[in-house]
Amino acid sequence: MTQIVNIPAWQVELSQAINKLDELLAVLELDPKQLNATWQATTSFPLRVPRGFVARMRKGDATDPLLRQVLPLADELQLTPGFSRDPLQEKQSNPLAGLIHKYHGRVLLTAVGTCSINCRYCFRRHFPYSANNPGKAGWDKVIEYIAADSSIKEVILSGGDPLVANDDYLQALCQKIAAISHVTTLRIHSRMPIVLPARITDSLVTMLKSLSLNLVVVTHCNHANEVDSTVESALAKLKTAGITLLNQAVLLKGINDKAEVLVALSERLFKQGVLPYYLHVLDKVQGTAHFEVEVNTALTLMKALQEKLPGYLEPKLVREEPGQPHKVLVK
Ligand SMILES: *Cc1c(COP(=O)(O)O)cnc(C)c1O
Ligand code: SF4
C-alpha cells in the first residue's frame, strides 16, 4: 500500500518559490538588458521569492517597490567602507546555539535559518545560520537556559523566519517555552503573513492559542502594495485569535523613502488591525549600501509622518547598535 503524504499547501508554495533570475524577469515581462540585475549577486545570497508575492508586482516596471526588495543587483558586489558582515556583532551575545540574549527580559531564538523570501537588504545575510541552528537536542539546552533565568519574561521566535518550520516542530518548541512559568509572552517575528500568507493556517492559529501565553506577531511589511486580499485573510485569522499584531519595516531607498508611501503603509496595515512598531534604519551590512537612506532624510520623513498621522500610526525610527541594551531611537 502506498502511503499518501499530505503536504500542506503553504509548503508546496514555499518549495515552488522563484529562484532563477531569468524566470523572475520573464514573469514580470522585464528586459534583462535594461536592468542592473545579475545572478552573480545570488551566489552568496540566493534569489528566493514566493510566486504569490511576485503576483503583487507590476508587470514591466523595473522600479516596482516589491521587486526592488528581491532583485539581485550588481551593486551588491561592491565593497563599501563602513559596511561589514556582522555589524550587530551578534556572535558576542550568542551564549548557546540558537539563542541571542542581548536585551533585558527578552531572549531571541533563531528558530529557523531560512526565510520564505530573501530580501536583498537583509541584515542577517551573512549570519552563520546553519552553524547556529541547534537541532532538537540543542533546544533542550536553550530551554534550560531560559528556565534558569527568571528575568526572562518574553521569548521571541525569530530567524530566519520561524514560520518556515512545520507545525509539529513549532508546537514542540512552543510548548516547552509555555511550560516555563516566568515566561508570559511569546512573540513571533515573521514575514510570512505578508509574503506567504497561506502559512497562517487554522491549525497553526489553534496551536498558538492553546499555549495560554500573551501572543504577539510582528510582521515585516515595507510597502502598502504588499498587502492584498490573501494577506488580509491571514491577518484577520491572527487578529480573531486575539493575537497582538505589530509591524516592523526597514527604511529603504527607492522603496519606501517617501512620506506618502510610509503614510499609506501605516494606514493600510491599520485597516487590517496591525500597528506600526519599528521603522529600522538599515544596518550597515556589506552589499546593501545602495538601499541606505541618509539619517537626515529619515528624520525629515518622520517629521512629515508626525504631521499627517495620529501618534499611534507613527513607527519608531530605530537602529541597532552593538553593545546597547535596547534598540536606539534615531533622533
Ligand atoms: C530587536 C531585538 C529584540 C526585541 O527588542 P524589542 O525592542 O523588544 O522589540 C530582542 N533581542 C534582540 C537580539 C533584538 O535584536
Ligand atoms: S524576511 Fe527578514 S530575515 Fe528573512 S531575508 Fe527578509 S529581512 Fe532577512
Residue-by-residue DSSP string for 97-127? TTEEEEETTEEEEE--S--SS--TT-TTTTS
Helices (H), 33-74: 51-54, 65-70
Question: Is the separation of the CB atoms in 7 and 198 below 8 Å?
Answer: no
The predicted pLDDT at position 181 comes to 98
The predicted pLDDT at position 275 comes to 98
The predicted pLDDT at position 238 comes to 98
Mutate to test the pocket of ligand 2, among 71, 122, 158, 218 (most ligand atoms within 8 A of CB): 122
Taking residues 219-226, report their average pLDDT: 98
pLDDT in tens, 43-84: 889 999 999 999 999 999 999 999 999 999 999 998 998 888
The angle, 0 to 180 degrees and rounded to 10, between the axes of the packed helices 229-240 and 202-209 is: 30
Q: How confident is the model at residue 121 (pLDDT cuts 50, 70, 90)?
A: very high
The predicted pLDDT at position 93 comes to 77
CATH homologous superfamily for the domain 90-329? Aldolase class I (3.20.20.70)
The predicted pLDDT at position 68 comes to 97
The predicted pLDDT at position 159 comes to 84
Residue 89 CB burial class (10 angstroms; 0-12, 13-18, ≥19): middle
Work out which ligand 1 atom sits closest to the CA atom of 326.
7
Taking residues 320-330, report their average pLDDT: 91
The predicted pLDDT at position 323 comes to 85
Q: Report how far residue 71's alpha carbon sits from residue 119's, in angstroms, rounded to the nearest whole number.
A: 8
Q: How confident is the model at residue 2 (pLDDT cuts 50, 70, 90)?
A: low
Work out which ligand 1 atom sits closest to the CA atom of 102.
13
Taking residues 12-27, report their average pLDDT: 97
Q: Lowest mean pLDDT of 78-92, 189-203, 216-230, 249-263, name the range.
A: 78-92
**C-alpha dihedral (310, 217, 213, 175), degrees to nearest 10:** -170
Q: Report how far residue 48's alpha carbon sits from residue 118's, in angstroms, rounded to the nearest whole number.
A: 5
Q: Report how far residue 163's alpha carbon sits from residue 165's, in angstroms, rounded to the nearest whole number.
A: 5
The answer, yes or no, to whether residue 89 has pLDDT greater than 80, is no
The answer, yes or no, to whether residue 14 has pLDDT greater than 70, is yes
The answer, yes or no, to whether residue 130 has pLDDT greater than 70, is no
- The mean pLDDT of the chain is 93
Ligand nearest the Cα atom of residue 106: 1
In the chain, the percentage of residues whose pLDDT exceeds 70 is 95
CA of 211 to the centre of ligand 1 (A): 22
Mutate to test the pocket of ligand 2, among 115, 123, 252 (most ligand atoms within 8 A of CB): 115
The answer, yes or no, to whether residue 128 has pLDDT greater than 60, is no
Mutate to test the pocket of ligand 1, among 189, 327, 328 (most ligand atoms within 8 A of CB): 327
Intervals of CATH 3.20.20.70 along the chain: 90-329
Work out which ligand 2 atom sits closest to the CA atom of 191.
1
Higher-pLDDT residue of 176, 6: 176
Q: How confident is the model at residue 35 (pLDDT cuts 50, 70, 90)?
A: confident
Question: Is the separation of the CB atoms in 206 and 176 below 8 Å?
Answer: no
Work out which ligand 1 atom sits closest to the CA atom of 154.
8
Using CB distances shorter than 6 Å, the residues near ligand 2 are 115, 117-119, 122, 124, 159, 161, 191, 220
Q: How confident is the model at residue 99 (pLDDT cuts 50, 70, 90)?
A: very high
Taking residues 232-244, report their average pLDDT: 98
Residue nearest to ligand 1 atom 9, measured at CA: 327
Taking residues 307-320, report their average pLDDT: 97
Q: Lowest mean pLDDT of 89-98, 135-144, 264-273, 297-306, name the range.
A: 89-98
Mutate to test the pocket of ligand 2, among 66, 112, 119, 248 (most ligand atoms within 8 A of CB): 119
Cell of 38: 545579475
User: Does ligand 1 have an atom closer than 6 angstroms to the CB of 106?
Assistant: yes
Higher-pLDDT residue of 129, 61: 61
CA of 117 to the centre of ligand 2 (A): 7
CA of 86 to the centre of ligand 1 (A): 16
Q: 228: part of which helix (H) or strand (E)?
A: none
The predicted pLDDT at position 317 comes to 98
